Amino acid sequence: MLNAVQVAKNFVESALHHSKDLVIGNGPQGPFDHLFRLRCPPYNIGSQQRFNPDSLFLYAVTDSRMNKRWGHSIEDAVKAAIEGGATIVQLREKDIESRAFLEAAKACMDICKSSGVPLLINDRVDIALACNADGVHVGQSDISAREVRKLLGPGKIIGVSCKTPAQAEQAWRDGADYLGCGGVFPTTTKANNPTLGFEGLKAVCLASKLPVVAIGGINATNAGSVMELGLPNLKGVAVVSALFDRECVSTETRNLRSILTSVRCLA
């Protein structure tokens, strides 16, 4: 019963939120007009916590090739990142078979749930639904956030990769919860990914109505400078290789977390 009330509350809040600046026809519409435009299937009642943007503070994004290189299982890598202080985790597993991915995702869900850390799945809505993950992260060439929202319902977290203010605006209209913006610095983790630099990150953050996490080439030497930009909706950094292409994932995560915390304390 409590879950049903929470789902209904999330639905109404989501509708109100997404209609607040909506213009249809001759002018701005009241929140209730938009309420009737939302068409969602019955929701999978699972983790129905609302998204807390502060969870983007230290976003650990896994990589199966790096785990393999260091002899880490996905579960061990996730456990270590959480031990070190990761505040949200994304399974970004590009070369793993679906069945193995789902098994690993279920195990990671248990780990994340018991630590109160949200777990998102990169690209694979099917895996996210099957393991009742907290959400999905999609890019510009994946299914749109609007379609993902229809599949996941209002209680789940949806992140969208954005490199431009126009993409940020579209992600907000589509019902995303946060934006991943980058590469801020050059990276070898993602091929053919243009580097935006601080200027590109600033442009997206200033245009975005959603919280933003910076990604791309971020590590212990430059994470402080990203957060020192002081952009109001820049909530944290998302990191792959500086955490997972390392022997001791928990040590690297702890180190990065303490750097981010010291910048936050000075702000």
Ligand X SMILES: Cc1ncc(COP(=O)(O)OP(=O)(O)O)c(N)n1
**Partner that binds at residue 240, options ligand X, ligand TZP, none, CB closer than 5 to 8 Å by kind:** ligand TZP
**Binding at 187: pick from ligand X, ligand TZP, none (beta carbon under 5-8 Å per type):** ligand TZP
Chain centroid to CA 133: how far? Answer: 12
Please, which residue, 19 or 187, has the CB nearer to ligand X? 187
Which residue in the list 92, 163, 235, 254 is annotated as catalytic?
92
Out of 43, 51, 57, 59, name the contact with ligand X by CB under 6 A: 59
Cα 87–123–78 angle (5° rounding)? 35
What are the residues facing 213 on neighbouring strands? 180, 236
Neighbours of 96 (CB within 10 A): 18
Residue (of 235, 177, 183, 174) closest to 205 by Cα position: 235
Among residues 213, 259, 219, 220, the alpha carbon closest in space to that of 237 is found at 213
Active site residue 257: no
Which residue's CB is nearer to ligand TZP, number 7 or number 66?
Answer: 66
Size of the site for ligand X (CB under 6 A): 17
What minimum distance in Å lies between the beta carbon of 152 and ligand TZP? 21
Q: How many Å apart are CA 208 and CA 190, to the nearest integer? A: 24
190 among known catalytic residues: yes
Partner from ligand TZP, ligand X, none binding residue 253, C-beta < 5-8 Å depending on class? none
Residue 160: in which H helix or E strand, if any?
A: strand 157-161
Nearer to ligand X, 15 or 207 (CB): 207
Distance, in Å, from the CA atom of 18 to the CA atom of 7, rounded to the nearest integer, reads 16
Q: Write down the least CB distance from residue 24 to ligand X, Å.
A: 30
Query: Between 168 and 187, how does the x/- string for binding to ligand X read (CB under 6 A)?
Result: ------------x-------
Q: Does 213 bind ligand X (CB under 6 A)?
A: yes
Residues 253, 84 contacting (CB under 8 angstroms): yes
Contact between 144 and ligand X by CB under 6 A: the answer reads: no
Active site residues: 92, 161, 190
